[in-house]
Structure 1
């Protein structure tokens, strides 16, 4: 059997081997926006940081939606791989590719047309730099969808190293192009956007030409599988849409946060933008473990192995909490150094450090409920994940900001952002204890 069968062998070593490339992938992908912000901050200044922060929030939001819309394909491929249904797996993979192509076109034109209104929704000044950054980034959504569709197919059969090497090549290209376009040619914010788009193209072409097409018959990339298969695409949508909705909920809540913070002035916005980049980078460790765990659980449930599914969850939870603890300790100590990498403005650095030292503690909460979410995703219960995210992002985070934000000031807002994530733990625990996920052991 080709691929990587995750239903056999010692859980901890296998999970770690599978997760490490995914952690590296997420870290390297995050470097796209981090490098943009760092180089823009050094060569353009705080005004460039504000433009990239506002525009990057919009682009990042839609990028997460793009990733989420491939989750259903990843789950289907993993479940069919675990149950040994080769033709079903290939048909699902082909349908995912066709569906992703259509979505890529829609997102490209939609984002280009709505760039200005999206910036205005954040309560930010509609600067030419921010709008231009978004419109240039829109061109990158075809390769974004293409890469993530192929990555989902590879991960579904247990292959995580190939996507890692592709992102590593793209990240290297992004750094070099950022330095060339922003530092060398003086293209400012526009240069950062162009560099990112070209790097995304590198990621897509590498995974397509080096990994996917050479084994196209195994992955389901032959012409007979690349068709608009309505029932399968609906199955992908049914599984992906709740995750996309979850990402939309998360993004809307953070867009609301940014709109609130925009009212505190440019220095606070710039400091928050730096802190958010560092915080999100750290959280990618937890997110990657969730992705690895959900893929492993999908295969185990496809094989009908409930005891191993429980073991995967327990092992992943322990590893995730340990990673979160180490991350928090390191960031608390190194916060001034980390913030100083982005800018020499002492006021902006001070704001970033204050925000970061408070919000980073929320990683403990994420490390717990994200693993329960991995169980739900692997079981195909993506709607639960969406509802639980709505609870902490909208019901709690936005409500607290709306009612208490004007009373507690900017420091109080930072504490609200950290504490609000904890409310998703109890519903996630109840879901796991209920055993509902066991009834998804065979995909219908």
Structure 2
């Protein structure tokens, strides 16, 4: 189901387009959460800590690849808005080939440096072996991860957010079944959870390739019949590099934070792992409204309909604020009971609950700037969100966390997260006032 985002009521079209993205992300985080539940209950705190410690490293590499893929999605959305079918083929062949090649290089480099990187993060020796095994297997499957996320963005750029949802749902089911078999039946431990993840991602990638080649002939990909364009490559890199740097910097910042948390022991590391998983689940609406606005903006900018972009942004911000209020109430009243479902250790549950309450206080600010940044990216401005996020949400967060943790312990690290979001929000508002949306 393809949606022409340049026609119809802005709010209705944004909701129609964003709902499958929202449900897909919910499924994605859902099976990540099930993965944490299986590992936490089958292996206990050491297993949960090993997976959690690996998470920032894993997301660093994945974020770089996904960031590179964002350039493809922006260019495709704008070309679709212009109805330029020849440009669609050039963008597909050139940028997908480049991203898949980059994933192979990163996979090899990541596999070889896994243990050294985990030691640098002050990983407790009690979980180092499990964390190394888990992360190395994830690196083996990086090609499938990069291919899936890139093709998922390409299909989404056409206005079709339903097909990626279907593939993701099937992939999630495969992931959960394999998790249960590998961890609970074969007793492969954290390595079993990793194998389940990469096999499910490989299926999703293959499904996207088959669909694109059969249903989107203007974007058909065949490695032996490529149409290469240096111009498209340069433009894709121009758009993608800031987002890749941003995503990589966010993950690098998380790695630094992870190192700080690890210094407070295995229980704190497990609480941070659980808290991040639940926070990621709760913030799905916020993140995916931003993704939807990038495609919505790209198509309408390509069609020259700037007033639709402005009206769509206002609608999305109001919707994001409503979701933020609901999530904050949910976390404050039910956060402890939700965390307790994943692990029985009282100290871990208490720290994870405290983490969730701190971060939920910043959801209002995070939702607004996330949507505004999605609009900026759709116009082709990927530099401004990069600089705002690197300063406000990464550098400042790390500095504040380092300072507050000296006086508040691990709670100071939690408090630094909403502080960074608030600064990013203020910087975004200042930029928007000085550079209003206009052609």
Same fold (TM over 0.5): yes
Which SS does the other structure have where 1:267 is aligned? helix
- Residue in 1 that maps onto 2:175: 174
Structure 1 residue 206: deviation in Å? Answer: 1.6
In 2: Cα distance, 1:276 partner to 1:385 partner: 22
Residue-by-residue CA offset, 1:257-297 (whole Å, 9 max, x unaligned): 11111111111111121111101121222111100011001
- Residue in 1 that maps onto 2:151: 150
- Residue in 1 that maps onto 2:340: 340
In 2: Cα distance, 1:284 partner to 1:122 partner: 27
In structure 1, stretches of 5+ residues that fail to align are: 440-444
Whether 1:74 aligns to 2:73 is yes
- Measured at CA, do residues 227 and 98 of structure 1 come closer, stay the same or move farther in structure 2, by a change above 3 Å? farther
In 1: Cα distance, 2:36 partner to 2:262 partner: 18
Residue-by-residue CA offset, 1:355-380 (whole Å, 9 max, x unaligned): 21121222111111111101110011
Per mean C-alpha deviation after superposition, the further-off stretch among 244-253 and 389-398 is 389-398
Residue-by-residue CA offset, 1:300-326 (whole Å, 9 max, x unaligned): 111111111100100111111111111
- Residue in 1 that maps onto 2:244: 244
- Residue in 1 that maps onto 2:426: 426
Per mean C-alpha deviation after superposition, the further-off stretch among 397-406 and 103-112 is 397-406
On the 8 A contact 1:379/1:437 being kept in 2, the answer is: no
On the 8 A contact 1:375/1:437 being kept in 2, the answer is: no
- Residue in 1 that maps onto 2:48: 49
- Residue in 1 that maps onto 2:219: 219
In 2: Cα distance, 1:425 partner to 1:350 partner: 29
In 1: Cα distance, 2:421 partner to 2:18 partner: 24
Structure 1 residue 52: deviation in Å? Answer: 0.5
On the 8 A contact 1:82/1:302 being kept in 2, the answer is: yes
Whether 1:320 aligns to 2:338 is no
Per mean C-alpha deviation after superposition, the further-off stretch among 131-140 and 29-38 is 29-38
Which SS does the other structure have where 1:114 is aligned? helix
On the 8 A contact 2:182/2:193 being kept in 1, the answer is: yes
In 1: Cα distance, 2:96 partner to 2:113 partner: 26
In 1: Cα distance, 2:426 partner to 2:84 partner: 36
On the 8 A contact 2:94/2:233 being kept in 1, the answer is: yes
Structure 1 residue 436: deviation in Å? Answer: 5.9
Which SS does the other structure have where 1:69 is aligned? helix
Per mean C-alpha deviation after superposition, the further-off stretch among 156-165 and 95-104 is 95-104
Residue-by-residue CA offset, 1:325-346 (whole Å, 9 max, x unaligned): 1111112111122111211112
On the 8 A contact 2:124/2:266 being kept in 1, the answer is: no
- Residue in 2 that maps onto 1:88: 87
In 2: Cα distance, 1:32 partner to 1:226 partner: 35
In structure 2, stretches of 5+ residues that fail to align are: none
Structure 1 residue 256: deviation in Å? Answer: 1.2
- For residues 26-425 of structure 1, what are the structure 2 equivalents within 5 Å? 26-125=25-124, 127-209=128-210, 211-221=211-221, 226-425=226-425
- Residue in 2 that maps onto 1:13: 12
Please give the root-mean-square deviation of Cα atoms over the aligned residues, in Å: 1.7
Which SS does the other structure have where 2:428 is aligned? helix
On the 8 A contact 1:74/1:153 being kept in 2, the answer is: yes
Residue-by-residue CA offset, 1:6-26 (whole Å, 9 max, x unaligned): 001011111011001111222
In 2: Cα distance, 1:81 partner to 1:164 partner: 21
Length, aligned pairs only: 437
